[in-house]
Structure 1
């Protein structure tokens, strides 16, 4: 089996942040951190800046709203024009409720799909799940994973850069 990466276990959030900073300085751009609760400053230490979920949400809302308005306009004006009570064929106030609802629906669907895709989900099996100690990530331990897919990965080098932080566990994870 090939190496998937190196897993380090730490007892405190401060140790995890220090390890993440050190990994980032060593050139690990895709390091992953796991903790039982949100850790302030961890995203910055890993080099996480912004994501594109808000942009995808905006675009999903715009597309949904525009498509709904166009569908109503096309149906009422060109495809099946019916004069109801002398109102104009393009009576935009009657188009607003459906347009608003589908705008919200389009934005919500785009937000969920983009969030899942950017998080790499659904991921039903991950090599980290095979490490017996990894279940502590949901209770009281902090883990840093350095993936072998990073261009700078070397198992010995990864051990060396983390050695003075005294990790509780150092384990090479196989794919």
Structure 2
């Protein structure tokens, strides 16, 4: 029988299997929200997708403003990196826009998991599906604090995997996971 802890979490076959399972769960999450709304007799005007935050209204500002904020956050490290680059800022910009390196990234299962699949699925499930279900039960303020607890519990398997692999002491594992 296959022991799921016998392969490292960065093994390509394990990444593909886990990505397929989280994509399936993410695809099913609107149906779960819809079923919960019916079961809990929650009647709201927006559609399920709108309730989960997927809507065209405000899409431009919802895409542009976080992008601008992220650009501001990364401006310091980019300037620092450009100062270290012998070719200056243009050399750093040239390496950041290099198509070859992006093609290597897209072909890397670890990069796809960490940069595409995980952020997308976690946002849709933990923010999009969980908050519409928590807010009617707990109120908006409590839901904002309870949803991250579910996120943390969903990632306990990382602690268990590291503990089983005997990589670090339990205090180091808990510190890193915290």
TM-score norm. by structure 1 comes to 0.27
- Which is richer in helix? 2
- Which is richer in strand? 1
TM-score norm. by structure 2 comes to 0.27
